[in-house]
Amino acid sequence: MSLFLSNRDGGLTDEQGHYRFQTNVWSGHVIGNGLQVTQNSPLGMSVIVGEGDARVPYADYAYTAWNDANEVVTISTANPSNPRIDRLVMYIDRGETPQQVNPNNPGIPKFAVVAGTPAAVPTRPSNSAVNSAVGATNPWIDLADILVNAGVTQITNANITRTAISVTQVVPTSFLARSTSTQNTSNTTFQKITTYNSLVFNNGGGYIAGSSQFRAPTAGLYNFGASIAYASGFSQIYRHILMLYVNGIETLRLFDGGAGGTSTTFAFGGSGILQLQAGDIVEVYMWRQVNASMYAYGGGPQSWFYGYQIGGTQ
CATH of the domain at 219: 2.60.120.40
Count of other CB atoms within 10 angstroms of residue 181 = 13
21 and 154 within one domain: yes
Identify the residue with better confidence: 216 or 23. 216
197 and 186 within one domain: yes
Any domain includes 95: yes
User: Average of pLDDT values for 150-156?
Assistant: 98
* Residue 180 banded pLDDT, cuts 50, 70, 90: confident
Phi/psi for 94 (5° steps) reads -70, -10
100 and 214 within one domain: no
180 and 55 within one domain: no
Phi/psi for 118 (5° steps) reads -60, 135
Domain count, the chain: 2
183 and 55 within one domain: no
pLDDT at 288: 79
pLDDT tens digit string along 252-299? 999 988 765 555 666 788 999 999 998 899 999 988 777 654 455 555
Average pLDDT, the chain: 88
Reported pTM = 0.60
Last residue within a domain, chosen from 120, 139, 168: 168
The lowest-confidence range among 26-30, 101-105, 154-158 is: 26-30
pLDDT tens digit string along 36-90? 999 999 999 999 999 999 999 998 899 999 999 999 999 999 999 999 999 999 9
197 and 103 within one domain: no
pLDDT at 313: 52
Q: What is the dihedral of CA 231, 236, 241, 242, to 10 degrees?
A: 20
CA distance 305 to 177: 5
> Which positions ≥6 away from 96 have C-beta within 8 Å?
105, 107, 108
Any domain includes 8: no
Domain carrying residue 102: 15-168
pLDDT at 142: 97
193 and 66 within one domain: no
User: Average of pLDDT values for 125-139?
Assistant: 96
265 and 202 within one domain: yes
